[in-house]
């Protein structure tokens, strides 16, 4: 456990904790604890995809297939905890940790992630990066 992990545990920040769970899912390739952090009416939108996902079950099917494709593709994907406008977010990179491709913003309420938006705007290059890659 590093100093930043200790600081996170000492000062809980629900949105940040939920972003950490999302990053852990992406970095480990295992849905795991993140499935428990989303309600049945969860929404996921991506600026790369036209239609929005509007349920937990649909998202879990989508993300499981996506994580499997990442594993099979052999190009590492990294999810780093970041901050944009004072809010916790995730910064995604592919190939290496500095090849930034997207930002994931979360809408959280009552200790759950109700919405995720995968964005290219704001630019991932404009997000404050932490160097924290939960696994």
**Model's pTM, two decimal places?**
0.88
At how many degrees (to 10) do helices 3-10 and 14-28 cross? 140
Mean pLDDT (whole number) for 105-129 = 96
Q: Is 77 exposed, middle or buried (0-12, 13-18, 19+ CB in 10 A)?
A: middle
Instruction: Tell me: pLDDT of 55 over 60.
Output: yes
Q: What is the pLDDT of residues 83-92, one digit of tens each?
A: 999 999 999 9
Q: What is the pLDDT of residues 28-43, one digit of tens each?
A: 999 988 999 999 999 9
Spans of all domains in the chain: 3-129
DSSP state of 93: E
Architecture of domain 3-129: Roll (3.10)
CB-side neighbour CA atoms (13 Å) of 31: 16
């Amino acid at each position: 456990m590093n100093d930043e992990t200790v600081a996170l545990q000492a000062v809980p920040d629900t949105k940040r904790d939920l972003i950490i769970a999302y990053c852990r899912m992406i970095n480990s390739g295992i849905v795991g604890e993140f499935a428990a952090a989303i309600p049945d009416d969860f929404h996921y939108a991506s600026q790369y995809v036209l239609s929005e996902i509007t349920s937990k079950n649909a998202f879990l099917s989508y993300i499981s297939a996506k994580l499997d494709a990442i594993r099979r593709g052999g190009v590492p994907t990294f999810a780093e905890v970041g901050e944009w406008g004072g809010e916790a977010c995730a910064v995604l990179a592919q190939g290496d940790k500095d090849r930034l491709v997207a930002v994931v913003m979360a809408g959280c309420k009552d200790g759950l992630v109700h919405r995720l938006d995968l964005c290219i705007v704001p630019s991932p290059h404009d997000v404050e990066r932490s160097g924290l890659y939960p696994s």
